[in-house]
Amino acid sequence: MDRRTLFKGLLALTVVGQVEAAEPTAGRGAEPGADPAPLDHELEKYPRCVVCNMDRRRFHYARHLTHYADDHVDGTCSLECTAEMMLRERRRGFKAIYGPDFGADGEPKPLVDVAAATYLLGSRLPGTMTRRSKYVFADPVAAQRVRQEQGGELATFDEALAASMAEKAEQLGRRYRNDQERLRRKKDGAAG
């Protein structure tokens, strides 16, 4: 067997392996990498944000964890990065999204289901990946207490997510306008 034949055979096996790995796993059990218990040791399993690569342990008070319908899990550093992943992966479906209970004592903050949580938006507390802070509270009374000290407004997860998406849209629009202006200047400089 000559080298070309051997190389073609190895290439074909590699391509077949990649195609099989990319095929859906229906009928073959759980998805590779699926995590049916995402809250168990989540900071060890998901130490970095899948969007921006920030250290989720450092930003434990803002991190989120998205558990999809197929048991895939994404760890993010903030609601901002969670919103981006929700857009990217929306076809997977969502089992649960968890956020850190800022009202709880100790570190790291324990994760709670955001569907039943109260968010504090736009307080004087620093934001993570955003100018407008968004903090999660399991207890609405604790959220109200922090609101009285730090300002801001109370919101549901849907309202906090909408605020994140509006900020993202504003950032993207600004980025587009800046890129267009840069291209216009470059074109004008080349013409002159």
Q: Region 142-153: what's the mean pLDDT?
A: 98
Answer yes or no: is pLDDT of 120 > 90: yes
Q: According to the model, what pLDDT value does residue 101 have?
A: 98
Tell me the CA distances in angstroms from 103 to 83, 136, 137, one per residue in order: 22, 8, 6
Q: Region 128-136: what's the mean pLDDT?
A: 93
Radius of gyration of the chain (CA): 22
CB 123 within 8 A of CB 163: no
Phi, psi values for residue 95, rounded to 5°: -90, -50
Q: Which residue has the higher pLDDT, 98 or 5?
A: 98
Q: In whole angstroms, what is the distance from residue 108 CA to residue 55 CA? A: 13
Listed range (10-19, 103-112, 128-137, 141-150) with the worst mean pLDDT: 10-19
**pTM score of the predicted model:** 0.78
Beta-sheet strand order (sheet of 118-121): 134-137, 118-121, 153-155
| Residue 112: strand pairing partners | 99
Is residue 170 very low, low, confident or very high in pLDDT (cuts 50, 70, 90)? very high
CB 94 within 8 A of CB 66: yes
Report the amino acid identity of residue 39: L
DSSP H helices in the chain: 3-22, 42-45, 79-88, 140-150, 157-191
Answer yes or no: is pLDDT of 11 > 80: no
128-140 per-residue burial string, b: 16 or more CB within 10 A, e: under 16: bbbeebbbbbbee
Answer yes or no: is pLDDT of 122 > 70: yes
